[in-house]
C-alpha cells in the first residue's frame, strides 16, 4: 500500500511505498532521546502520547519518495554519534529517525503517514503497535505491553526486517542520504551537551517542570 506523507502544515510531502502491515514492528519508544527530540521541536504535546511515547513505523529508505518541500527537511543529532533525526522545519513535524546511512530502516513517525481514509486506514496499513519499549522513561501508568528492553519477538522482528532490507538493497536511494550513502542530504544540527541537558530536564517519569 502506498501512503501519502505530509507534515502538519502540508508544505513537506512525499509517499511511503509498499507499506505492509504484515511486516509489523511498529513500536512506541518511550526513551529520553525521543522525548528530548520532541522538546527540541517545541511540540512535545503534539508529538508524544500521554506516556511520553513516540509511535514509530518502520519504512524502507528506498521506498520513501519526497514530492515537495524538500527544502524544509532538517536533521538533528542529540550528540556527535546520535541518530539522525529528520524533521520538517516548516512546522517542526518529525519525519523519521535513521541509525546510519547503511541501515535499510527509517523509523518513521506514524503521524506523518496520512492516508486518505484517515486514522482507520493508517492503522490498517501500519498494523498494530507491537510493544512500548524503554519503559524506564515512560510517564504515568504505562500500557500492559510496555517493557524497558524490547521483547525477543520485537528484536527478532527487527533483525529479520534488517536482513531482508540488506539483501534487497533497500537502504538506497534514500531521501535522507546522498546516493553513495556517505553524506546526509542536509547538514545535521548537533546539540551541545549544554543544549541537550537543558532539554533533558523536561523528559522522563519525573520531569522537573
Ligand atoms: Zn510543515
Ligand atoms: Zn526513543
Q: What is the pLDDT of residues 35-94, one digit of tens each?
A: 999 999 999 999 999 999 999 999 999 999 999 999 999 999 999 999 999 999 999 999
Ligand 2 mean position, distance from CA 70 (Å): 25
Distances (CA, A) of 146 to 29, 50, 70, 167, 178: 10, 14, 35, 31, 36
Closest-approaching ligand to the CA atom of 85: 2
Distances (CA, A) of 199 to 32, 44, 103: 10, 11, 28
Ligand 1 mean position, distance from CA 145 (Å): 32
Ligand 1 mean position, distance from CA 34 (Å): 19
Phi, psi of 162 (to 5 degrees): -70, -45
Three cell numbers at 63?
521506498
Closest-approaching ligand to the CA atom of 38: 2
| Residue 116 burial (CB count, 10 A) | 7
| pLDDT, tens digit (0-9, with 9 covering 90-100), for 164-195 | 999 999 999 999 999 999 999 999 999 999 99
Question: Which of the 8 DSSP states describes residue 169?
Answer: T
Nearest to 162 by CA among 149, 171, 152: 171
Question: Which of the 8 DSSP states describes residue 184?
Answer: B
Closest-approaching ligand to the CA atom of 36: 2
pTM over 0.75: yes
Closest-approaching ligand to the CA atom of 137: 2
Closest-approaching ligand to the CA atom of 27: 2
Amino acid at each position: 500500500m502506498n501512503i501519502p506523507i505530509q507534515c502538519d502544515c502540508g508544505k513537506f510531502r512525499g509517499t511511503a511505498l509498499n507499506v505492509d502491515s504484515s511486516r509489523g514492528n511498529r513500536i512506541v519508544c518511550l526513551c529520553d532521546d525521543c522525548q528530548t527530540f520532541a522538546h527540541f521541536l517545541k511540540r512535545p504535546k503534539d508529538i508524544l502520547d500521554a506516556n511520553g511515547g513516540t509511535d514509530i513505523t518502520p519504512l524502507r529508505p528506498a521506498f520513501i519518495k519526497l514530492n515537495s518541500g524538500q527544502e524544509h527537511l532538517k536533521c538533528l543529532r542529540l550528540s556527535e554519534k546520535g541518530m539522525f533525526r529528520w524533521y520538517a522545519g516548516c512546522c517542526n513535524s518529525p519525519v523519521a529517525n535513521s541509525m546510519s546511512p547503511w541501515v535499510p530502516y527509517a523509523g518513521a513517525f506514524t503521524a506523518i503517514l496520512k492516508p486518505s481514509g484517515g486514522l482507520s486506514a493508517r492503522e490498517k496499513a501500519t498494523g498494530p503497535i507491537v510493544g512500548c519499549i524503554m519503559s524506564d522513561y515512560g510517564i504515568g501508568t504505562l500500557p500492559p505491553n510496555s517493557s524497558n528492553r524490547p521483547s525477543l519477538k520485537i528484536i527478532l522482528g527487527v533483525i529479520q526486517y534488517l536482513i531482508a532490507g540488506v539483501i534487497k538493497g533497500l537502504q538506497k536511494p534514500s531521501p535522507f542520504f546522498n546516493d553513495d550513502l556517505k553524506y546526509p542530504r542536509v547538514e545535521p544540527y548537533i546539540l551541545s551537551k549544554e543544549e541537550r541537558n537543558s532539554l533533558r530536564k523536561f523528559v522522563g517519569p519525573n520531569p522537573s517542570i
